[in-house]
Amino acid sequence: MNHADPSTLADLVLVAHALVVLFVASGPPLILVGVRRGWRWVRAPLYRWSHLAAILFVTAQAWFGQLCPLTLIEAELRAEAGADLRARGFVAHWLQRMLYFDAPLWWFAAAYTAFAALVVGLWWRYPPRRGWRSMA
């Protein structure tokens, strides 16, 4: 059996991580714009529950001093590949620069808590529609 290169898998995990961050970060602006423009999908329960669960998961991790599982998987794959982080590809380099930066863990916990409060506030102000996948 031919196994995938660990550095390629690490790049895929990095892209998946960036997409999760984009999903979480884009939620509040999309909800605000979508409600005003009548986009029904921004009040769909599946979207809203997924979004709420994602930010609450990230916030809980920060409060417990844990790193994101995607960060850990990527780091393990890069270590397995013996990759020098300076040798990664262009896209991986810039995605990592956008996702990772040095700050104390309390800073992340505070930032994620504030963002989670915003998401909960939007949930209260613009609740999801009834029904698990309702688009009406």
> What is the Cα 36 distance to its own chain's centre?
25
pLDDT of residue 84: 59
Helix 6-37, helix 45-63: angle, nearest 10: 120
pLDDT recorded at residue 105:
84
pLDDT at residue 89 in the model: 63
Q: Band of the pLDDT at 88, cuts 50, 70, 90?
A: low
The per-residue pLDDT for range 69-85, each reduced to its tens digit, is 998 898 899 888 886 55
Q: Using alpha carbons only, give the angle 39, 115, 45 rounded to the nearest 5 degrees.
A: 35
Residue that the structure tokens 């196994």 belong to: 3
- 95 has a pLDDT exceeding 80: no
Apex 50 CA angle, 47 and 53, nearest 5:
145
Token digits of residue 65: 């001093």
Q: Is this structure's pTM higher than 0.75? A: yes
